[in-house]
Each structure stands twice: as C-alpha cells, then as structure tokens.
Amino acid sequence: MGQLACAVVLMSVFAASARAQPTPYNPYAETQEALPPVAADGTLHWGPFYKSAAMQKRYERLWNQGACRGTNKAITTPVERNTMVIDNLPEESFRGRVRATAGTLAGGMVAFTEGGSEDSTVAVLVAQLHPAGVTHMQVGGRSSTSAIKPGMTLRVRAQVDEKGRAADPVRHLDIVTPPEGFIPDPIRPGKFDTVVGSVVQFRGTTLLLRVDAGTIRRLALTLADDAEVMIVDAAQLDLIAPGDEVEIRGRRWSGEGAMGAGTVFTSRIIVTKVPLEPTPSAEPMPNAVGAASGL
C-alpha cells in the first residue's frame, strides 16, 4: 500500500473514531459500579459503544441540564437503540496484513486487510485496542538499526569497563518490552553479560543506554556495521509497519458507527514483521538468559 493510501486510511480511521468512540457514558453511573477492564478469567470488558456520538452528546446535554431523567420515552428509546454492548458480540479470529497504524497500546488502532492480498481495493478492517491498554500485543521478527529510538528497551550481550564503555562492537540487539516492575541485573565490569537498558541516544554507530540498577548506569556502546536487530515479544505499536503479518482475536462490529469495513474490538494481536534478507546468525538471545530478573 502506497504512502498516500496509508495516509487516507489513517484519516478515515481518525474521522470515524471521532464520530463513534467506544468510551462509555452512563448517566446512571452514580448507582452502578463500573466493571474492571479485565475480568478474573482474563476476558476484556469493553462496555457500551455508541453508534452515533452526536446523539449521545445531545442526551448528555439534556441530562446535565436536568431536562431528562429517563422518563421521556421519545428520548430514551432512541438512546437505547443507539447503544451497542461490545461484550455481547462473539469473538472471532482474523489473519491478514497491516495497512496502517495510529496511536499507542492504550486505545490505538491497526488498519488491516484479511488474507495476504496487497490489493488496495480490499475492504479495510480496523482493530481497536482497549483504551485501558490491556489488549495483549506481541510483535516479533527481524528488524534493523533504523528501528532503534530513544526510550525503547534493548537487550544486548556486551562487556564494559568501570566507566560503562564497551570493549568490542555489539553485533546483535533485541528490542523487548519488559514486564511491569522489571528490574535489570546490575552491570559487572569486565564480564561478558546480558545487558537490558533504555536507549538514551543513537547516532551513527554509537548507542547510549541507561541501566536502572547497580552503580554503572550509563553505557556507551558501538554497533558493528552489520549489527543485527530482532524484535522479541515487544508490545509497541510504533514497531508495526504496513505489510506486516497480523493475527487478531476480537469482537467485530460492522453496523452503524463502525470504522472502515468493520471495527474489531481487539483482545489479542500478534504481529510478525515482514522478513528481511535472511542472515543465519540473526537469532534472538535465549529468554532464559537473565531469567532471575524475569526477562
């Protein structure tokens, strides 16, 4: 899909999102306890979806003005028909290709088409991620150094001195998303260790990392010219690109207020990066390394 076409998809996604947001408004919330975003069995709670945001806003205005307290059927009946409970929709599975993305894990969107077709005329579905950021996302596959950005977490094997300077160029990096509460292992100078740190700066072949443990917290690494980058079980929307393969589990709504050919309220999304030219040695480091810290 061309760059212009991707932009068109994104603009249509944002326009539709403005018309019909999945964020619920309940005028009787004072007497009802809101459900948590994740149930005890792992099921996601979405709540109601308003087919027409404009109608719901009119009702909110009447409610706030004290003009409607649920007794006027001429108002309440259309409002009830305007509401669709997402949790009542059946869950379905989808496989296809990414067309465009927008936002973050909390409430972001992934436009995709089913199957492997690159035809730009194929109907586009929109995976809506949960606004609470609880959609399970997993991104994996081969990438490149161009994907490295400040703030992301990298896992590398390196040996550094007391000042945090690496002895040799780094030849392999993994982009990862640490679990909540993760604490990296402290740096041991003179030891060839697994290092997990956040990118402070990446310029040319120089990579600066911050490690939030131990006494050596700033590392200066040099990347080899042929450094290999793998994305390993990351949960970052900005790592997804058009053409990537996607598997989605969610609840589809194709009626009034849906985005594209249908909005899929997504509980799980697994993205596989489009393979680059194969390099036999480009394999992710074992997750067992550094297992004491949980990564």
Specify burial of residue 264 (Cβ count, 10 A radius: 0-12, 13-18, 19+): buried
> Phi, psi (5° rounding) for residue 215?
-95, -25
57: CB partners within 8 A, 6+ apart? none
pLDDT band at residue 31 using 50, 70 and 90 as cut-offs: very low
| Nearest-angstrom CA–CA distance, 126 and 259 | 6
60 in helix, strand or coil? helix
Report pLDDT digits (tens) over 130-176: 999 999 999 999 998 989 999 999 999 999 999 999 989 999 999 99
pLDDT of residue 252: 96
Q: What percent of the chain has pLDDT over 90?
A: 56
First to last CA, the chain: 36
What pLDDT score does 67 carry?
Answer: 56
Q: What is the pLDDT of residue 209?
A: 96
Q: Tell me: the pLDDT tens digits for 235-259?
A: 999 999 999 999 999 999 998 888 9
The sign of the CA dihedral 264, 268, 272, 273 is positive
pLDDT (tens digit, 9 = 90+) per residue, 64-102?
Answer: 655 555 555 655 666 666 778 899 999 999 999 999 999
Q: Is the pLDDT of residue 188 over 90?
A: yes
pLDDT at 113 over 70: yes
More confident position, 71 or 264: 264
The amino acid at residue 144 is S
Q: CB of 258 within 8 A of CB of 251?
A: no
What percentage of the chain exceeds 70 in pLDDT? 69
Predicted TM-score of the model (pTM): 0.73
| Higher per-residue confidence, 120 vs 222 | 222
